[in-house]
Amino acid sequence: MLLSVKHTTTYRYDTLARYAIESLRLTPPTFDGQKVLSWQLNAPGIDRAAQFQDGFGNVVHLTVLQDEHNSITIEATGVVETQDRIGVAKGLSEPAPLRVYLRETPRTAPDDAIRGLAAKCKGGCTLDQLHRLMHSVREAVSYEVGTTHSHTSAAEALADGKGVCQDYAHIFISGARTLGIPARYVNGYFFAGTPDPSDAHHAWAEAWVDGLGWVGFDPANLICPTERYVRLATGLDAATAAPIRGNRRGGQNETLDVVVEVQQQGAQQQQ
């Protein structure tokens, strides 16, 4: 499947900012089942950006803006060819050892409720446990936009019983690590299958299965990632896999606008 992606992020401020530094994890990798055919980043200072690979294998561009400004727009666009690999992610750069993905973070720290949820999924092979965990997370939390925020923890979302894809991924990751299974957060895009472009910035989780490697699980949609998914960045949680992280001087009362469109390329465009 050929998928075109347009991801536009705009920050606006009521007062002038004098300086900004941004780390951009907005470059998808090529690996088995995903081939980046074209990709472009547009952002202030992108022509002078330092580029490096972080500890999770993500491509990072570090940009600096030293002029006064009251807004910043960052745009990533490109075309990616995808194939259904039944959720198995092979061929990725893997600088971090598996034990790193057992580490707790503030967003994924388990409480008694998460431990109890995970305990009910024990038994059988690792893959069976993970599928049961995915279904258990989805059953425990209703999908409701606006009920959580970027700093909501897995424990808080589970206790509230409401959340979005980020919350599902955090709860799944927390539960898997409780079972002793390395797990990580994945940021990316999802094509809903509609003819019109869809707002499809998405998140899911991956867990390590001996003999298979990293396998993706999307509790929000109750499936393992297919050709409709485009992988962007990974980390221990949403914070470490965030597409954009930065700091600035000045610029009070920030407002954020994010627009993500994913569309399947037509037969004529594929030629």
| DSSP assignment of 62-76 | EEEE-S-EEEEEEEE
Q: Which residues pair with 225 in a beta bridge?
A: none
The per-residue pLDDT for 271 is 28
Contact 215, 101 (CB under 8 A): no
Burial 235-259 (b: 16+ CB within 10 A, else e): bbbbebbbbbebebeebeeeeeeee
Three-state SS at 133: helix
The length of the chain is 271
Contact 57, 96 (CB under 8 A): yes
The per-residue pLDDT for 195 is 67
Q: What is the CATH number of the domain that holds 92?
A: 3.10.620.30
Is the four-CA dihedral 121, 126, 127, 128 of positive or negative sign?
Answer: negative
Which of 47, 41, 50, 37 lies closest to 4, judged by CA?
37
The phi-psi region of residue 91 (left if phi > 0; otherwise alpha if psi is between -120 and 50; otherwise beta) is: left
| pLDDT per residue rounded down to tens, the chain (271 residues) | 999 999 999 999 999 999 999 999 999 999 999 999 999 999 999 999 999 999 999 999 999 999 999 999 999 999 999 999 999 999 999 999 999 999 999 999 999 999 999 999 999 999 999 999 999 999 999 999 999 998 999 999 999 999 999 999 999 999 999 999 999 999 999 998 876 655 589 999 999 999 999 999 999 999 999 999 999 999 999 999 999 999 999 999 999 999 999 999 874 443 2
Counting the structural domains of the chain, the total is 1
The per-residue pLDDT for 163 is 96
Q: Give CA–CA dist 52/95, Å, rounded.
A: 13
Range of the domain at 126: 2-270
The per-residue pLDDT for 199 is 59
Q: Which residues pair with 235 in a beta bridge?
A: 185
Alpha helices in 102-221 (DSSP H): 112-119, 126-140, 154-160, 165-178
What is the dihedral angle through the alpha carbons of 154, 160, 164, 170, rounded to the nearest 10 degrees? 10
CA–chain centroid gap for 129, Å, is: 23
Q: Give CA–CA dist 254/177, Å, rounded.
A: 35
Q: Please name the helix (run of DSSP H) or strand (run of DSSP E) that holds residue 44, with its range, or none.
A: none
